[in-house]
Amino acid sequence: MGMTMTQKILAAHAGLPSVKAGDLIEAKLDLVLGNDVTAPVAIKELRKFKDNKVFDKDKIALVPDHFTPNKDIKSAENCKCMREYAIKNGITNYFEIGEMGIEHALLPEKGLVTAGDAVIGADSHTCTYGALGAFSTGVGSTDMAAGMVTGKAWFKVPSAIKFNLHGKLNKWVSGKDLILHIIGMIGVDGVLYKSMEFAGDGVADLSMDDRFTIANMAIEAGGKNGIFPVDEKTLDYIGAHSKKQYHIFEADIDAEYEKVIDIDLSQIKSTVAFPHLPENTRTIDECGEVKIDQVVIGSCTNGRIGDIREAAKVLKGRHVARGVRAIVIPATQEVYMTALKEGLITDFIEAGCIVSTPTCGPCLGGHMGVLASGERAVSTTNRNFVGRMGAVDSEVYLASPAVAAASAVTGKISGPCELGI
């Protein structure tokens, strides 16, 4: 029996001719990632190791992005811990304020991840890099610590579900709508510890930003990872961002999948996940009258330049509804700079938005947009659990940048079509 993309990457990194679902393997790692929440825990664990030198100073990435710029003393101490460790150990890929970004947008942009890599990160949305044809998955801080020292990690080889995409997305429908549609269809445990493998002619219609968004939210369906085939768009992206050697792995024709799901992209509508799970989805025409207090456009899911441009198209020449707070967060400094050069920052400010430095901020109820009791937010982030963005009785509605921007203008959950565009 043949292997899936994920299984081929894991076999190569384990030095094995083949693997199958359920096998326990030890694989070499191309990159180990931590942030200002998880890395300090790993660093404290490292002190327990007899030999705690990192396996390769060029293959560790430390990114302060969750509570930065520091919102309080505790977050400042966490960043200090990571900063001192990075300097002491000569970590090449440590990104300080001013050059950092939200980790899962920053690492591909910096060319640190490429096709065929095996990556772990002490953050659940590390699965984002599957957009580049890499195997990447989130781990705990102790596993991160072990990976930093040994350059290896243990895995149980996942089985896979194949998502065959066909056709093209309609105007104002994006990768965010597609992944919300899928999660609504299969549930938050629909691919529990499985690989979500995307294929079909419809992949070519998806931009790299779409693919990053979809792979990013594989974890919201319980997935071990999400992965896309490497095509011309992938190679163009890699060529523009990375000098690393890449390896293309393709699924075998006789690869074994637990299930194959066919999806017609032309049938996907703008989709919103209602509280308090990403699987609680409704199409935009099913949402009804839901008034909102806040809109957040950004995050590791939807803070890339394509997302920022989409939101700006909706907001340009319009104004945020009275009583609504609209927060735009470019995912990296490069995204911010591009948006600045293109006049998008001006468009946002003239529309009544505020624009933040790159940070995870409000996504996890950290800062830059925490919700008060009873408030509702439309957000382009990835989770809407109880209390995710603030008070336990607040509500988060997950949506695309286009829907979030339109909702900011109307003051209720709306699609761009309601604005006549």
pLDDT of 181-190, one tens digit each?
999 999 999 9
- Phi/psi of residue 245, each to 5°? -70, 140
Q: Mark 353-392 as b/e (b = at least 16 C-beta within 10 Å).
A: bebbbbbbbbbbbbbbbbbeeebbbbbbbbbbeeebbbee
Write down the pLDDT at residue 48.
Answer: 82
5-263 CATH fold: Aconitase; domain 3 (3.30.499)
Q: pLDDT (tens digit, 9 = 90+) per residue, 258-306?
A: 999 999 999 999 999 999 999 999 999 999 999 999 999 999 999 999 9
Q: Are the beta carbons of 154 and 142 closer than 8 angstroms? A: no
Which residue spans within 106-171 are E strands per DSSP? Answer: 118-121, 135-138, 152-156, 160-166
Tokens of 381: 């982030």
Candidates 158, 169, 175, 191; CA nearest to 261 is: 191
Beginning with the edge strand found earlier in the chain, give each strand of the sheet holding 118-121 in spatial order: 93-94, 60-63, 31-35, 118-121, 135-138
Residue ranges in the chain modelled with pLDDT below 70:
none
Classify residue 95 as exposed, middle or buried by CB count within 10 Å of its CB (0-12, 13-18, 19+). buried
Residue 139 and residue 122 in contact, taking contact as beta carbons nearer than 8 Å: yes
What is the model's pLDDT at position 50?
75
What's the mean per-residue pLDDT of the chain?
A: 96
Domain 271-419 has CATH 3.30.499.10: yes
pTM: 0.95
Q: Do domains 5-263 and 271-419 have the same CATH topology?
A: yes
pLDDT at 109: 97
Alpha helices in 151-252 (DSSP H): 175-186, 208-216, 232-241
DSSP element (H, E) containing 264: strand 259-264
- Give CA–CA dist 294/404, Å, rounded: 9
DSSP 330-343: -SBHHHHHHHHHTT
Domain range summary for the chain, segments of one domain joined by +? 5-263, 271-419
- Cβ burial, residue 276 (10 Å; 0-12/13-18/19+): middle
Q: What is the pLDDT of residue 22?
A: 95
Question: Nearest to residue 9, comparing CAs of 130, 110, 142?
Answer: 130
pLDDT at residue 380 in the model: 98
